[in-house]
């Protein structure tokens, strides 16, 4: 017989953790037809001699909900061997949504996920109202990658309760309606539902994101929808302090596991050198829940973010900054930044570690005001010392002197190699948190698959190639019940990543592009060493560029 595509002479790493081997891979009709020695012809042959042939990577934590409206290639994930993305995380999203409440949904994304309002307003197509319609609209666009969806609790509560969802718990009648809609979404293929308890997740008008107001009785009803169907998973942003799991959060985690009977994955498990034992303590506390199916998420990357003072999400966890998010106009922010009372409250907030406590890690990247150019590449700690100020004063004075246009970077978390080796070798921890589509103007971690394989597999040899691929493929696929993805095996959909193990990688800090709707800026992370990516049998990435193939589908649980 003649195949559509044959990949010859590759090093097959099948995604299960099994030892690598040399083989050909034949693809026909969008599926893997044969693995072994292929002698039959094909319409196209790729010589993969010296290259790894693996399942396409599955990214379980993205926020591409809006971006798929204008970017069917789902960049930059598609540059990094990713063939399937899961979106709708952290309880925030844009479906279901009534026409009259679209602005609220968009402003939730602005405040929580750092996506500029003008980008959303220009780019979102709004060709849906219900969640099943949202998934159908995504499928109709014929994306380049496979798209999977978690039902985010905030828009479901808002759809039923209106603006009251941002103020209070649901009544029993409202809870029943919300639970029914979540059940409908799961029946239509949603992979479960998501929520958040994080203080920094402030939505429309600086109010707590609606899902944060859900009562324990509500969460039980929503979790029971999964138990009744014996399908799906729950994703929750759970740790008020990054990497620190507190007692009430342990109780919530155990409650969700019990009431759903399904896996629960939670964020965020970053290693912190300011609280050196936080991750180890969290894993000890979470051990009973991990045994029941809990999966903490981490990233293989040190978190280096850009700080945009027009959307200062990096400081949203601090109580003082609620004033900044309540009125996001430039003049209102200017008045708050200059207010001595705000500065003093921020100083008090900084006495308790939350997002950061080290001004030496906050660096001035670029200033617009020529008079401030001498401050570029200096840390706020250096500037404060030079000017005889404390960190808060030096920081906010630079912001005001540059008319809030100063660009800063902040490095934090996952910086200790010995602790990262512990996390990477813990099979209970889910490799994720790329956050693709979110915080677009200050960071990009969506290239974490190539970073993992380049930095931790090849350079530091912290884990094997087989284990690195498993963490990126079958592990996240299995969590969300995508049993036919994440494995390179006969009969499976032909999602394949072909990469050079000697070159695979990406830089930690990305580069600027101005390709969002309206020409807005985003940070992207280019890849190295990804030679080909195949989605459902179609080559979508070829030697450094995207093709025109649009073979992605909506993956329904």
Q: What confidence score (pLDDT) does residue 554 get?
A: 98
Residue of 499, 501, 477 lying closest to 489 (CA atoms): 477
Q: What is the pTM of this model?
A: 0.86
Tally the C-alpha atoms within 13 A of residue 29's C-alpha that lie toward its C-beta.
Answer: 6
Residue of 398, 287, 326, 300 lying closest to 111 (CA atoms): 326
Cβ atoms of 82 and 147 closer than 8 Å: no
* 31 strand-pairing partners: 28, 493
Q: What confidence score (pLDDT) does residue 222 get?
A: 98
Sheet holding 57-59, edge to edge: 57-59, 82-87, 146-149, 554-555
The residue with tokens 């070159």 is 503
pLDDT digits (tens, 9 = 90+) for 329-348: 889 999 999 999 999 999 99
Q: What confidence score (pLDDT) does residue 111 get?
A: 85
Q: What confidence score (pLDDT) does residue 353 get?
A: 58
Tell me how far apart the alpha carbons of residues 353 and 350 are, in angstroms, rounded to a whole number. Answer: 6
Q: What confidence score (pLDDT) does residue 357 get?
A: 58
Phi, psi of 505 (to 5 degrees): 165, 180
Q: CB atoms < 10 A from the CB of 118, how many?
A: 15
Q: Residue 96: is the preceding peptide bond cis (ω within 30°)?
A: yes
Tell me how far apart the alpha carbons of residues 69 and 12 are, in angstroms, rounded to a whole number. Answer: 35
Residue of 18, 114, 169 lying closest to 489 (CA atoms): 18
Which tokens sit at 88?
Answer: 């709708």
Domains along the chain? 57-302+414-479 (3.20.20.140), 306-412 (no CATH)
Residue of 529, 487, 438 lying closest to 12 (CA atoms): 487
Q: What confidence score (pLDDT) does residue 316 get?
A: 82
Q: What confidence score (pLDDT) does residue 369 get?
A: 95
pLDDT digits (tens, 9 = 90+) for 253-267: 999 999 999 999 999
Tally the C-alpha atoms within 13 A of residue 20's C-alpha that lie toward its C-beta.
Answer: 20
Mean pLDDT by 10 residues, the chain (557 residues): 94 98 98 96 97 98 98 97 98 97 94 90 97 98 97 98 96 98 98 91 85 97 98 95 92 98 96 89 96 97 80 83 86 93 93 70 89 92 95 96 90 88 97 93 90 97 98 98 95 98 84 92 94 98 96 96
**Residue 92 Rama label (left phi>0; alpha psi -120 to 50; beta):** beta
Q: What confidence score (pLDDT) does residue 307 get?
A: 83
């Amino acid at each position: 017989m003649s195949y559509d595509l044959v990949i010859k002479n590759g090093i097959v790493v099948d995604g299960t953790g099994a030892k690598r081997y040399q083989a050909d891979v034949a693809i026909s009709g969008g599926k893997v037809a044969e693995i072994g020695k292929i002698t039959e012809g094909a319409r196209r042959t790729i010589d993969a001699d010296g290259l790894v042939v693996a399942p396409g990577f599955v990214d379980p934590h993205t926020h591409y909900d809006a971006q798929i409206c204008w970017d069917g290639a789902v960049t930059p994930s598609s540059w990094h061997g990713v063939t399937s993305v899961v979106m709708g995380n952290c309880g925030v999203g844009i479906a279901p949504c009534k026409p009259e409440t679209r602005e609220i949904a968009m402003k939730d994304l602005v405040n929580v996920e750092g996506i500029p309002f003008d980008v959303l307003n220009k780019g979102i197509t709004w060709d849906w109202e219900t969640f099943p319609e949202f998934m159908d609209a995504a499928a109709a666009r014929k994306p380049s990658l496979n798209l999977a969806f978690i039902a985010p609790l905030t828009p479901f509560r808002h759809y039923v309760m209106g603006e009251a969802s941002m103020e209070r718990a649901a009544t029993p009648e409202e809870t029943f309606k919300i639970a029914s809609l979540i059940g409908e979404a799961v029946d239509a293929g949603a992979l479960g539902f998501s929520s958040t308890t994080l203080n920094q997740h402030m939505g429309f008008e600086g109010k707590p994101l609606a899902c944060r107001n859900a009562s324990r009785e509500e969460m039980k009803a929503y979790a029971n929808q999964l138990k009744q169907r014996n399908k799906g998973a729950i994703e929750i942003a759970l740790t008020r302090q990054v990497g620190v799991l507190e007692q009430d959060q342990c109780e919530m985690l155990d409650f969700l596991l019990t009431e759903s009977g399904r896996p629960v994955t939670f964020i965020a498990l970053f290693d912190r050198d300011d609280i050196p034992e936080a991750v180890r303590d969290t894993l000890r506390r979470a051990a009973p829940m991990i045994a029941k199916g809990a999966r903490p998420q981490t990233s293989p990357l040190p978190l280096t973010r850009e700080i945009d003072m027009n959307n200062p999400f990096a400081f949203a966890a601090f109580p003082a900054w609620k004033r900044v998010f309540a009125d996001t106009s430039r003049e209102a922010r200017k008045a708050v930044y200059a207010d001595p009372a705000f500065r003093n409250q921020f100083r008090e907030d900084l006495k308790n570690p939350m997002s950061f406590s080290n001004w030496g890690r906050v660096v001035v990247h670029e200033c617009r005001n020529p008079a401030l150019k001498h401050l570029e590449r200096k840390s706020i700690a250096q500037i404060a010392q030079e000017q005889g100020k404390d960190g808060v004063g030096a920081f906010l004075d630079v912001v005001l002197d540059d008319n809030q246009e100063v660009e800063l970077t902040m490095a934090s978390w996952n910086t200790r190699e010995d602790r990262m080796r512990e996390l990477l070798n813990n099979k209970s921890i889910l490799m994720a948190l790329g956050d693709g589509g979110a915080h677009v103007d200050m960071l990009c971690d969506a290239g974490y698959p190539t970073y993992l394989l380049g930095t931790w597999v090849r350079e530091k040899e912290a884990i094997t190639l087989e284990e690195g691929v498993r963490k990126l493929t079958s592990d996240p696929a299995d969590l969300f019940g995508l049993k036919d993805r994440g494995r390179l095996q006969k009969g499976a959909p032909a999602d394949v990543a072909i990469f050079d193990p000697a070159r695979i990688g990406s830089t930690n800090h990305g580069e600027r592009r101005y390709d969002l709707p309206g020409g807005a800026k985003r940070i992207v992370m280019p890849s190295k060493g990804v030679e080909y990516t195949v989605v459902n049998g179609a080559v979508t990435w070829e030697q450094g560029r995207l093709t025109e193939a649009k073979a992605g589908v909506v993956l329904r649980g």
